[in-house]
Amino acid sequence: MNGHIATGQQKKYYERRHRVGQTLIDSKTCEKRFALDNEFQQIYGESENHMIAKMKEYQFQAETKKLLDLMIHSLYTNKEIFLRELISNASDALDRLRFEALTDPTLLEENDKYEIRLETDKEARTLSIFDTGIGMSRDEVMANIGTIAKSGTDELRKGLEAATSAQMAADLIGRFGVGFYSSFMVADKVVLTTRKAGETTATKWESVADGTYLLSEAERDRRGTTVTLFLKQADPEIGIEDFTDQWVLSRIVRKYSDFVTYPIIGKYIREETGKEGGLVNESESTIVIEDKILNSMKPIWSRPQTEVSESEYADFYRHVSNDWTPPMKTLPLKAEGTIEYQALLFIPVQAPYDLFYHGYQGGLRLYAKRVMVMENCSELLPGYLRFIKGVVDSADLPLNISRQTLQQDRHIKQIRKWLAKKALDVLSELFERNFDNYLKFWNQFGRALKEGASSDYENKERILSLLLFQSSADPEKLTTLKAYAERMKDGQDEIYYLTGELRSVVENSPHLEAFKAKGYEILYLTDPVDELLVQSLWDYEGKKLKSAGKGTLKLGDNQEEKEKIQAELQKKEEQATELFAAMQKAVDEHVKQVRLSSRLVASPACLVGTEMDYSPQMERLLQKGKGGGPNQRRILELNPNHEIFVKLQERFQQNKEDGVIGEFAELLLGYALLAEGSEIPEPAKFNRVVVELMLKTL
């Protein structure tokens, strides 16, 4: 380092760039950092004043400012995760370079080293993370570092504010992919210098997290990125260790990044004592600085299962999933034969927050000959198993395989089929041997598994055996279709169910009154995916599935009783034909038929559909989608034994032109809609009719 002396103007500039809030770092460290930057300038070939002139200041977007503020003032103690995030970013850059170099070898620039280096300066209190990856252009720096383009930033900010533990905070930072900003938990200032492979110009980005960042041109003798952290003073009480200490860095790398597939190289300093005639001469000791690879690198999936501990599997799971909770199940798999591949799969304990969002990106990491060719390969597993994390490594795949090729590749199809079978084997074993743990799995991922019954026809029967449902048989315990079938009454030839948003709504639905009166069990299907399930599940072991809210109902202990009930109902309907016509006229916009019901006991009315109609729940779901959904006209069923129907008949016989009949039809329609949890189409009109009828009866 040269003896460059700082001018007063330059010192002021550096003090401003090193200022955090209103507190300055000590003057000695500032001088050291100033001299260090001058050494960088010699490498870049530019003077300080020239660099300042070429810098341009930008404002962070609003959400980024909030996030940076949270990082700087974070109260949790697990601040060491910043290194995990920066190493992960460096590893991603190396992955990308390796992939793009397959089709463009010139990107390697006669330097095919793939490595990550950690370098420190104790006096200046700096830590630098170097990589020889793909690097970034100026536009990419602004897009990836200057802003946060990922959705979910606001959810992250709220989650960090509400985090009650270091573990929760670490999980959130990893989950939302904004790990670069975690650097500001331990650094007053961050400088990033990067040169994209194939380009000659480098870009320098720096910020003290004061709401702005500086961009300038720089020089760098090779591709890649360097992130230099100007560290805060060590304070173990708030989780800031001495991150210039080689042993601290080594421990963190082993803890978080041991399975990164590229060498993470640190400077190892040791003292060697001289020897004379076989005797130790302590007066002639020398300091030796050498490179040391800090991570093991060997792919864990290629090691024999007996040589890998549970903690090592858990560490690797964290690496591939950013989930810091150990997995529920670990599946080391190996296939040999016509197609050879290895896989290491994990079933998580907890579902990610966005698992059931349309934009959720699932998939396994796909390797070919231990080289990653795709980070999120969704073709390796059916969609209903998208919650499974892990890696697949096959020697039979080309390194430059594309996503379009994947969809047609016979190897991928075979791997997908095999992995799905193995995953279902493990779930079946869990179901049979440890049902309590299976219930924990079901509460997190059951909705996803239900999707498989309507999409994976090859494994449909196996999936059906794993499905659980709420039932009228027990207020708390879930049931299987098999258990339901075993409990069916003599003479019952259908499995009855009703869909809806909540159990409390479904189990109190008027549609179920006759079922309850006769002791029939009902399945309560309250997941949105249940609507898709019942559309593809017509029967189970020869028993037809029947919605309690659709079609005509024929309940009875035997065929003779069923025929008797239907005959009585038909006779009463014939007597009320004119009444139904008058009521139909009043509600024709929303109702296609008025008829008597065999499913009501205490309620005066309900709405039902034909066998081919959508359920009310499905109709509401479709209407929430883009462009809305259909407005169906359904069937208004009346209870022939209810006092309201009896008195309506009497009043109609006295005056067939009585306008009150139409008003009561509208009231019964509104009652039926409210009872099933649907909205009234014209609330103001409904309220007016209620008030008018109340006034007439007072």
**Tens digit of pLDDT for each residue in 679-692?**
888 889 889 888 98
Question: How many whole angstroms separate alpha carbon 616 and alpha carbon 189?
Answer: 57
Q: Which stretch of DSSP H or E encloses residue 496? A: strand 494-499
CA of residue 144 relative to chain centroid, distance? 21
Residues 6+ apart with CB under 8 A from 93: 131, 133, 134, 135, 224, 225
User: Is residue 449 a contact partner of residue 459, using CB atoms and an 8 Å limit?
Assistant: no
Q: Which of 16-25, 344-353, 525-534, 602-611 shows the lowest per-residue confidence on average (mean pLDDT)?
A: 16-25
4 pLDDT above the threshold of 70 = no
565 pLDDT above the threshold of 90 = no
Q: pLDDT value at position 407?
A: 66
Considering only residues 49 and 290, tell me which one the structure prediction assigns the higher pLDDT.
Answer: 290
Question: How many whole angstroms separate alpha carbon 540 and alpha carbon 469?
Answer: 14
What is the mean predicted confidence (pLDDT) over 180-192? 90
- Residue 655: CB atoms within 10 Å: 10
Q: How many residues appear in the chain?
A: 698
Q: Where are the alpha helices (DSSP H) in 434-458?
A: 435-453
Q: pLDDT value at position 654?
A: 92
403 pLDDT above the threshold of 70 = no
- Residue 456: CB atoms within 10 Å: 18
CA-based torsion, 37, 39, 44, 47: positive or negative: positive
- Could you tell me the residue ranges of all domains in the chain? 1-54, 57-267, 300-433, 471-698
pLDDT in tens, 335-386: 887 788 999 999 999 998 888 888 788 889 888 776 667 878 899 999 999 9
30 pLDDT above the threshold of 90 = no
Topology (CATH level 3) of domain 471-698: Four Helix Bundle (Hemerythrin (Met), subunit A) (1.20.120)
Q: pLDDT value at position 517?
A: 92
Question: What CATH number does domain 57-267 carry, 3.30.460.80, 3.40.640.10, 3.30.565.10, 1.20.120.1630?
Answer: 3.30.565.10
Considering only residues 68 and 304, tell me which one the structure prediction assigns the higher pLDDT.
Answer: 304
Considering only residues 79 and 538, tell me which one the structure prediction assigns the higher pLDDT.
Answer: 538
pLDDT in tens, 410-449: 888 899 999 999 999 999 999 999 999 999 999 999 999 9
Q: What percent of the chain has pLDDT over 70?
A: 81
- Residue 431: CB atoms within 10 Å: 18
DSSP tag of 615: P
User: Is residue 372 a contact partner of residue 278, using CB atoms and an 8 Å limit?
Assistant: no
Q: pLDDT value at position 617?
A: 86
Q: What percent of the chain has pLDDT over 90?
A: 47
Considering only residues 19 and 399, tell me which one the structure prediction assigns the higher pLDDT.
Answer: 399
Q: Which of 2-16, 88-102, 286-300, 668-682 shows the lowest per-residue confidence on average (mean pLDDT)?
A: 2-16
Write out the DSSP string of 166-207. HHHHHHHHHHHT-GGGGGGGTEEEEEEEEE-TT-S-EEEEEE
pLDDT in tens, 208-263: 888 888 999 998 989 999 999 999 999 888 778 999 999 999 998 887 787 788 99
Q: pLDDT value at position 211?
A: 82
E-assigned strand segments in 348-491: 364-368, 371-377, 389-394, 469-471, 474-479
Q: Which of 132-136, 158-162, 543-547 shows the lowest per-residue confidence on average (mean pLDDT)?
A: 158-162
Looking only at Cα atoms, what is the longest distance across the chain?
Answer: 129
User: Is residue 459 a contact partner of residue 491, using CB atoms and an 8 Å limit?
Assistant: no
694 pLDDT above the threshold of 90 = no
462 pLDDT above the threshold of 80 = yes
Q: Where are the alpha helices (DSSP H) in 73-211?
A: 81-100, 138-144, 153-162, 166-176
Question: How many whole angstroms separate alpha carbon 596 and alpha carbon 600?
Answer: 9
HSE-up of residue 226 (Cα within 13 Å, Cβ side): 21
**Could you tell me the two tokens for 228?**
């230099």
Residues 6+ apart with CB under 8 A from 634: 590, 591, 592, 607, 608, 609, 613
Amino acid residing at 399: L
**Could you tell me the two tokens for 210?**
């004061």
Which range among 82-96, 129-143, 684-698 has the greatest average pLDDT?
129-143
Q: pLDDT value at position 397?
A: 76
Nearest-CA neighbor of 160 among 186, 185, 188? 185
Residues 6+ apart with CB under 8 A from 674: 680
Question: How many whole angstroms separate alpha carbon 54 and alpha carbon 67?
Answer: 28
Q: At CA 410, angle to CA 404 and CA 414, rounded to 5? A: 115
The CATH code belonging to domain 300-433 is 3.30.230.80
Phi, psi of 555 (to 5 degrees): -105, 145
Question: How many whole angstroms separate alpha carbon 346 and alpha carbon 317?
Answer: 7
What is the mean predicted confidence (pLDDT) over 647-671? 92
The mean pLDDT value of the chain amounts to 83
Write out the DSSP string of 240-262. B--TT-HHHHHHHHHHH-TT-SS
E-assigned strand segments in 243-350: 264-276, 279-293, 329-335, 341-347
Question: How many whole angstroms separate alpha carbon 245 and alpha carbon 471?
Answer: 60
Phi, psi of 470 (to 5 degrees): -75, 150
User: Is residue 429 a contact partner of residue 404, using CB atoms and an 8 Å limit?
Assistant: no
154 pLDDT above the threshold of 60 = no
Nearest-CA neighbor of 348 among 462, 468, 444, 467? 444
Q: pLDDT value at position 400?
A: 53
E-assigned strand segments in 220-326: 224-231, 264-276, 279-293
Question: How many whole angstroms separate alpha carbon 120 and alpha carbon 266?
Answer: 9
Confidence of residue 399 (pLDDT cuts 50, 70, 90): low
User: Is residue 85 a contact partner of residue 187, using CB atoms and an 8 Å limit?
Assistant: no
What is the mean predicted confidence (pLDDT) over 576-595? 94
152 pLDDT above the threshold of 60 = no
pTM of the model: 0.64
Sheet with 364-368, side-by-side order of all strands: 329-335, 341-347, 389-394, 364-368, 371-377
CA dihedral 392, 397, 402, 408 (to 10 degrees): -90
**Could you tell me the two tokens for 109?**
């620039």
The DSSP bridge partners found for residue 353 are none
